Amino acid sequence: MLDFVIDKKHDESRQGEAFAPKVFASNSFAKKFYIESYGCAMNFADSEVVASILQGKGFEITRHFEEADMIFINTCSIREKAEATVRKRLTEFRKVKKYNPALLVGVLGCMAERLKSKFIEEEKLVDIVVGPDAYRTLPGLIEEAESGQKGVNVLLSREETYGDISPIRLNSNGVTSFVSIMRGCNNMCSFCVVPFTRGRERSRDAASVIKECTDLFNEGYREVTLLGQNVDSYQWYNSKDESIVSFANLLEKVALISPLLRVRFSTSHPKDITDEVLFTIKKYENICKYIHLPVQSGSSRILQLMNRTYTREWYIAKVNRIREILPGCGLSTDSITGFCSETEEDHQQTLSLFEYCEYDLAYMYFYSERPGTLAERRFEDDVPLEVKKRRLQEVVALHRIHSLKSMEKEIGKTVKVLIEGNSKKSDADWAGRSDNNKMVVFPKSGNFHRGDYAEVVIESCTAGTLIGKIKIN
């Protein structure tokens, strides 16, 4: 499951955000489209693919939905709350459609795939429903909708990777970017809807990934995040020389583009991350020492019900191995409280695992049953909501202690920061992330610019930000 695995503040600032490219030539005769994206990083990357497809057919993007001829919402189905947010947004667009009957409204992504044609029946204002593997057909579906028909294509594919499409970088800071390396998921975690909304796992050809990353570097980008539901299971067969490119091989190829290009990746399934990957990270200074390793639960019994294919002890051994090979590596996780039949003992095991791992960052949720999943079919959602929320708050409170402790460990150190832009609070300060994914804020001084690397001495911190000053040699 790929779910909010980029920096949390970064994700929250983009949640439900409209996208607009840095430069577009205006064409007063071109029909305009507007996109909002919700959910994981993959959805934001998919919106860039959609924008590229539509621009290639002569459409023009706008950041103002009021002036759009068509509005698209790229959706998430991972939790009930995510779907509720989309439904609420659709009701808001109904007001716009009231004054502009010709307006087309489309739902893209995982929620479209899950609900399919039912979406049009339930939400009368929806004209187009397109699943994650059908974006190439969107221009044709728009034509159908303009003629008064409802456009629906939710067919899943075993081959589609959009590897030949050059995404339009939307609302970009010009420094960091996502690059999708694979689609779908073969892990049938019992709580997760992703295999049903994004289909089977397939890897994008390595050459196209390297080309996209190289192009980004040549355009001035200095960091790429390789995306996939489970990047560690990436495997691409090169028919030209009959070789197989593993994820470790791909990481190395991207790192070799330039030592000035930082490389991140997300997300890793604990069962698939290998020593080969860890030693590749260790070998290259520009591969960031930061791993997102979702645990979901600290109880082996619950992990078995979740079909996570590892035990508590196995997960701890993997964490130990990461820290043995990569001392100081940043570590983050996902956790779910209140999964089916979870007892207080199971919950205490999750708390004790958090105590052991002391994650730098964690994305914590209470269980939300999703229609069509294995858990919905097999197990009873029997933990009361108030118990789920109470357990979640206990995990959150514990993690806050660890998060602050993790930040305090950096005080006095000198860290290398990639400058992403101005601080949100002051244009007099730069903001950027360290190698281990901690946000750093420091006063502007010297001849530094967005996209430069700076050596920063950390002087203080908050629970979410390191504060320092540029090192004077």
pLDDT at 4 over 60: no
Residues 147 and 224 in one domain: no
180 and 114 assigned to the same domain? no
In a domain, 166, yes or no: no
Residue 170 lies in a domain: no
Residues 313 and 422 in one domain: no
- Euclidean distance between CA atoms 266 and 356, whole angstroms: 23
Phi first, then psi: give them for residue 426, nearest 5 degrees.
-155, 130
Give yes or no: residues 142 and 269 share one domain.
Answer: no
With respect to residue 43, please indicate whether it lies within any of the assigned structural domains.
yes
Which runs of E-coded beta strand occur in 338-406?
Answer: 361-366
The H or E element spanning position 10 is helix 8-14
209, part of any domain: yes
Task: Please report which confidence band the pLDDT of residue 94 belongs to, taking 50, 70 and 90 as the band edges.
Answer: confident
Backbone CA torsion sign across 198, 11, 312, 389 = negative
pLDDT at residue number 392:
98
Q: Are residues 430 and 392 in the same domain?
A: no
In a domain, residue 167? The reply is no
CATH of the domain at 270: 3.80.30.20
Any idea what the CATH number is for the domain that residue 464 is in?
A: 2.40.50.140
Is 369 part of a structural domain of the chain?
yes
| Among 6-10, 62-66, 190-194, 377-381, the least confident range | 6-10
Confidence band, pLDDT 50/70/90 cuts, at residue 123: low
- How much is the pLDDT for 401? 97
Of 30-34, 169-173, 185-189, 208-212, the range with the lowest mean pLDDT is: 169-173
DSSP symbols for 411-444 = TT-EEEEEEEEE-SS-TTEEEEEETTS-EEEEE-
**Are 84 and 141 contained in the same domain?**
yes
- Looking at the fold, whether 135 and 239 belong to one and the same domain comes out as no
Per-residue confidence at 2, pLDDT binned at 50, 70, 90? very low
The separation between CA 104 and the C-alpha centre of its own chain, rounded to angstroms, equals 27
- pLDDT band at residue 18 under the 50/70/90 scheme: very low
Per-chain mean pLDDT for the chain: 91
pTM of the model: 0.89
Q: What is the pLDDT of residues 425-434, one digit of tens each?
A: 999 999 999 9
Residue 163 forms part of a structural domain: no
32 and 111 share one domain: yes
Q: What is the reported pLDDT for 83?
A: 87
**363 and 227: one domain?**
yes
Residue 99: the pLDDT is: 85
The answer to whether residues 393 and 418 belong to one domain is no
Domain extent at residue 445: 414-470
